[in-house]
Structure 1
């Protein structure tokens, strides 16, 4: 994210919230620190993300289990951990304005604690004194207890204004630099804000799209055909049938890992947008044989399982290709019992018969900008420089898909990114023998699909990840 513009002549604006006044008080060192287990788990998650580039959504469940947190304590730990990861760039901008030291020079554990404290001050209703006190206690109980006074001083400055006040002070003026203003206000790197604006094409739609990235995504389940009916699954979990996916269920609350149908493989967690992509790939109109399908970049296996379940009902088979061995193993576990053969191979040259497949799904590796609400730290990991290499890979995989599909067969090109270079840019330079067909009729009832023939879903419009779909027929 481009650094915020500091306007020293305008202090933080108070908007009714009472913050501490007077010089910062040093924390008392006469009492032992009281470490709140929920906040300790959140702090441990921030350390794991910073130190070893851990994935927050994969790491947090283990930390919660180790700390034996459940219910409201687990919910608080999750909100603080994911929220601090998601808002990291914004938090750092405010912390830097409140610190006389460069954040890059701080010890990692101290920086983690400052981010956690700043998130509580700016994004929750936790009282300021409590947010500061519990964070200082975390520092006192940690590996850098001598930094407790510094932590206290910085966080008291952060708490002197609310988020709106800090945005007014640090962000560019909205009417002069909308991209810069929204990047800080919604905690997105500037290059991502620009990419979303380019894809949307409507400045009025940009802020809702960014805001949707900052809201935790709901849990969507898929009822696998032949295993359990959608309405039966909805009744079993007290959920709601999805609006558009014929196999989707919205789970209102609870741990999906405890659902019997999920444990035995009849159902799974899968975003409704991903379900719609797989269903479109499976139902696009096709002449002739329709029994041999391919998933060219299958890991971790959600779409391969849905396609395999659909093929099981019609006596067909699916070849699932995944280059990474551990992800190929994930696919094998996910598709167990289905007519799916998993190949650990490079999708650009999978070593399988060319021109033999009736349908090829290419869910291409991408920046993942369409799933930022599900991956809290992802927006700060990617860089604009990553795009060119991914686009090159996407084009090479699409070339392979064109070779693998038979004449008259269907290729479904899918990305979980709205970045124009990864979507329309790749399709615009597709192999000559792949002709675009209108994908919109394959998503019946879904509104705001644009002029076609490709489809771009959005969290703020459709409640799904921002999935892109292009359907192509080999001439």
Structure 2
């Protein structure tokens, strides 16, 4: 079967919408999400609720739109490799809107239980309604060719042989698991042993919704679902909209990955001698860790100062730490400031959290678009910022106080190298073992002795890295 030719022009003709069957509302909503994420650098999980509400989708169609949009973005790299093998010209020359329709069609054909005829016909309707008649015929021809093989057969067809050279194996994994090759290389250096294939596969599994009961404000028993295995405050939601859970709607509980909960728990649990009153969250937005820290601090009579550089994220922090009565127990303030130059006197904090900005390659399950949005050039800029933030935190903490450095990335340049360089360059810092602060968590040894690395394929969490540093006397 010859490869279908891309239409000369697939733009919608003037004079109104093209004739034909209307596009399925759930698929049209998913296409809109792909367009907004692509053109506005938006986040899938933030765009979806607004698009679903605007389209007035019922719960069943809302679930379909969510799986279509998020699943398609996760597997975009795999689908593009397959589509490139089905078209007579470079995929980059196919109109972007048509590409989005083709990717949605691929996801239905190769990763969902949608009959081939339904996946193809609904994609054709979508292309006709949203782009034009020329695009509809092109989409029909391409997806018919895609439907001739299943996903495994297509990967075998378009990806290099994994039994070949290392480059062949890395390229195979990049296509099979839909990750940019540079990301695969970095994760290969970070993943323990032979875990790379399992880690990449886990990045493509939609995470379960995890809730946190903020101690002193909500009880775990109030939340519907199953207790998390490691955090004493977490619950895995059985299903439904978390915003409809009363404790969440009232701000007494929140949506928070278990790995993120463990970061706050570890900082609060670190042994400390002497005063324990002033805690600082140096990169507090969007506020999940700050809210849990504040709840833990309030139980001890301590207070958290939340520092966030960006105004809109500082507003999210204020919302997260404010209770249903408008008070902010456990919070001494939310300030908009640069964490590398915080408006706090040096040597006055007892505990400091540095949840550093990073590549986010440990949260690709929840932020599927991040893998396509980041580039290798981002890494150096982020590492330099991470080193400045960690140094700033160590200057803030008093002798005997502790700093917990965390990233939602397992990349060694952002984890072991940042911490190792900092410890080496300062005579007043000691790296302490953070693993005893994570009871019950096994298989989480970090790249430096005493550090911890969580993994989605081992622990069901984001790939959070944790290091505990204690300030001594120079």
Residue by residue over 1:155-189, the C-alpha shift from the partner in whole angstroms, topping out at 9 and shown as x without a partner, is: 11111211111111111111112211111111111
Deviation at 1:382, TM superposition (A): 0.8
Please say if 1:319 is aligned against 2:305.
yes
Please say if 1:174 is aligned against 2:165.
no
Hey, what does 1:93 align to over in structure 2? 81
Hey, what does 2:265 align to over in structure 1? 279
Residue by residue over 1:107-128, the C-alpha shift from the partner in whole angstroms, topping out at 9 and shown as x without a partner, is: 2211111111111112112121
Hey, what does 1:347 align to over in structure 2? 339
Hey, what does 2:187 align to over in structure 1? 196
Asked if 2 retains the 8 angstrom alpha-carbon contact of 1:458 and 1:466, the reply is yes
Hey, what does 2:230 align to over in structure 1? 244
Deviation at 1:395, TM superposition (A): 0.2
**Structure 2 SS opposite 1:98:** coil
Deviation at 1:153, TM superposition (A): 1.2
Deviation at 1:386, TM superposition (A): 0.8
Q: Which residue, 200, 220, 223 being the options, matches 1:210?
A: 200
Deviation at 1:103, TM superposition (A): 2.2
Please say if 1:455 is aligned against 2:452.
yes
Deviation at 1:338, TM superposition (A): 2.3
Please say if 1:268 is aligned against 2:254.
yes
Aligned equivalents of 1:464, 1:185: Cα separation in 2:
22
Deviation at 1:233, TM superposition (A): 2.2
43-52 or 394-403, which deviates more = 43-52
Please give the residue correspondences for 1:23-422 in structure 2 after superposition, counting only pairs within 5 Å. 32-176=20-164, 177-202=168-193, 204-230=194-220, 232-234=221-223, 237=224, 239-336=225-322, 337-340=328-331, 341-422=333-414
Hey, what does 1:13 align to over in structure 2? none
Aligned equivalents of 2:381, 2:267: Cα separation in 1:
26
Hey, what does 1:440 align to over in structure 2? 435
Asked if 1 retains the 8 angstrom alpha-carbon contact of 2:3 and 2:142, the reply is no
Aligned equivalents of 1:31, 1:351: Cα separation in 2:
62
Aligned equivalents of 1:458, 1:23: Cα separation in 2:
41
| TM-score normalised by the chain length of structure 1 | 0.91
| TM-score normalised by the chain length of structure 2 | 0.91
Deviation at 1:306, TM superposition (A): 0.7
Q: How many equivalent residue pairs?
A: 447
Change (3 A) 1:23 1:458: closer
Aligned equivalents of 1:33, 1:106: Cα separation in 2:
24
Deviation at 1:464, TM superposition (A): 0.6
Aligned equivalents of 2:251, 2:113: Cα separation in 1:
40
Aligned equivalents of 2:162, 2:3: Cα separation in 1:
32
Q: CA RMSD in A?
A: 1.8
Gaps of 5+ in 1: 1-20
427-436 or 253-262, which deviates more = 427-436
Aligned equivalents of 1:212, 1:249: Cα separation in 2:
20
Change (3 A) 1:275 1:174: same
Residue by residue over 1:220-262, the C-alpha shift from the partner in whole angstroms, topping out at 9 and shown as x without a partner, is: 11100111122x224xx2x111111111111111100111100
**Structure 2 SS opposite 1:406:** strand
Asked if 2 retains the 8 angstrom alpha-carbon contact of 1:348 and 1:396, the reply is yes
Deviation at 1:73, TM superposition (A): 1.3
Change (3 A) 1:31 1:23: farther
Runs of 4+ with >3 A deviation: 21-26
Aligned equivalents of 1:162, 1:441: Cα separation in 2:
46
Asked if 1 retains the 8 angstrom alpha-carbon contact of 2:297 and 2:304, the reply is yes
Aligned equivalents of 1:183, 1:168: Cα separation in 2:
13
Deviation at 1:146, TM superposition (A): 2.2
Deviation at 1:31, TM superposition (A): 7.5
Gaps of 5+ in 2: 8-17, 323-327
435-444 or 334-343, which deviates more = 334-343
Asked if 2 retains the 8 angstrom alpha-carbon contact of 1:323 and 1:347, the reply is yes
